[in-house]
Chain A
């Protein structure tokens, strides 16, 4: 019965991902932390699907698809920004602040 421990590990991984998003300024590392959080959610879905039926694993399938799409579009945005600003440091991307 690994449900409790797996949910705990998932929560820890998610928190590390949140920490990364809050602490890092490199846009690419930020994306990695988002992948880490999605991965933590997948772990909790798989752990629950062991007890509650296979639907959780189907949901993981969809999460992976969305993650792949998000990474592709996100990197396109990063490359477009890099072409204008020559940087991916989020500290320098403050257009909205004026």
Chain B
């Protein structure tokens, strides 16, 4: 059951990602990207990352994609359908080479497993989620082991807010 759901949503994510890259209208691209983000959220649930899935839908599909659509609307680009997809040009041999590399990497990745000593026992993450809760599990690690990076994130967000205001304002 989990396997079937995984493959359905993996296929959905890849198909909508391709559509996102190839659509001409930026609005259509944004909507297909939202579908990709939603199906990735389903994959997160299947991989026992429930809190991250909720975060994905709220932060990515909710906040960031609304920002994208807002900027498209603000700059009035929704109906500007110039042919902005570049052709192949001289890049075709390079592209085929790189695609072959990625194919080999995919093949290797499915063959190689991480070191068995490092692995948690099967179902361990599921059990931790059911005892500590999906949020508590992350919160404990975040507020103890990763406390300093977490605080630095606050500084980063402040810098981003200030930078965005200064850049986008006509006169500071």
> Which residues of A are in contact with B by a Cβ distance under 8 Å?
1-9, 11-13, 15-17, 19-20, 22-26, 28-29, 31-33, 35-36, 39, 42-43, 46-55, 57-58, 60-62, 64-73, 75-80, 82-83, 88-89
Contacts and interface: CB of A to CB of B under 8 A. Distances in A.
A78 to B, nearest CB: 7
B105 A65 contact: no
B64 A67 contact: yes
Interface string B9-42: 0100110011011000010011001001100100
Interface string B52-73: 1001100110011001100110
Given A24-B86, A64-B55, A78-B71, A6 B167 contact: no
A65 B153 contact: yes
A9 B9 CA distance: 10
B109 interface: yes
A61 B142 contact: yes
Contact of B64 (A2, A3, A9, A68): A68
B168 A80 contact: yes
Given A9-B10, A16-B21, A29 B55 contact: no
B130 interface: no
Contacts of B18: 16
Nearest to B123: A50
Contacts, number: 212
Interface size classification for chain B: 35 or more
Contact of A80 (B10, B119, B167): B167
A50 to B, nearest CB: 5
Nearest to B88: A23
B96 interface: no
Contacts of B64: 35, 67-68, 71
Given A3-B113, A15-B99, 9 more contacts: A4-B111, A4-B113, A5-B10, A9-B10, A11-B105, A13-B40, A58-B141, A61-B142, A79-B71
Given A58-B138, A58-B146, A28 B156 contact: no
24 contacts: A1-B122, A4-B111, A9-B10, A11-B105, A25-B86, A29-B26, A29-B84, A32-B68, A33-B21, A35-B60, A36-B33, A39-B36, A50-B49, A51-B118, A53-B120, A55-B141, A57-B49, A57-B51, A57-B52, A75-B67, A75-B168, A77-B167, A79-B71, A79-B167
A95 B125 CA distance: 52
B1 interface: no
Contacts of A49: 47, 49, 125
